[in-house]
Amino acid sequence: MDMIEITRFFVAFLFVMALMGGLWLVLRKLGLNGHIPTTPVTKRRLKVVEVLMLDPRRKAIILRRDDTEHLVILGASGETVVETQIPVKANDDS
């Protein structure tokens, strides 16, 4: 391969990468970037209330669904439900 062929290869490679980037930007602008449409914020029933790192591999999270909370431990080996049906306090409406 001489220098002209190597240069032609890199120019063609950069051109193809630029086309792919442009297509990605157009798809993202149109909302077709592969993300599943989510529920509007006002209609969501599920919320992560608090996250606590227990160690580098595990964390405890409190999930709120409707008017109850659930304590779950997430780790590398899976998840464990510690407590369910925790009532939400009346003054804790965030």
State which residues form the domain around 32: 1-37
Contact predicate 57/74, CB 8 Å: no
- Do 31 and 46 belong together in one domain? no
CA pair distance 76, 23, nearest whole angstrom: 37
The strand pair at 78-87 and 68-75 is best described as antiparallel
- Do 7 and 31 belong together in one domain? yes
On whether the pTM is more than 0.85, the answer is no
Note whether residue 61 is domain-resident.
yes
| pLDDT in 10s for each residue of the chain, 94 residues | 689 999 999 999 999 999 999 998 888 887 776 666 667 777 888 889 999 999 999 999 999 988 889 999 999 888 888 888 888 876 555 5
Q: Structural domain tally of the chain?
A: 2
- Do 70 and 46 belong together in one domain? yes
Note whether residue 66 is domain-resident.
yes
pLDDT of residue 30: 78
CA pair distance 66, 32, nearest whole angstrom: 31
Dihedral pair phi/psi, residue 30, rounded to 5°: -80, -5
Note whether residue 7 is domain-resident.
yes
Residue ranges in the chain assigned as alpha helix (H): 3-30
CA pair distance 83, 94, nearest whole angstrom: 21
Note whether residue 22 is domain-resident.
yes
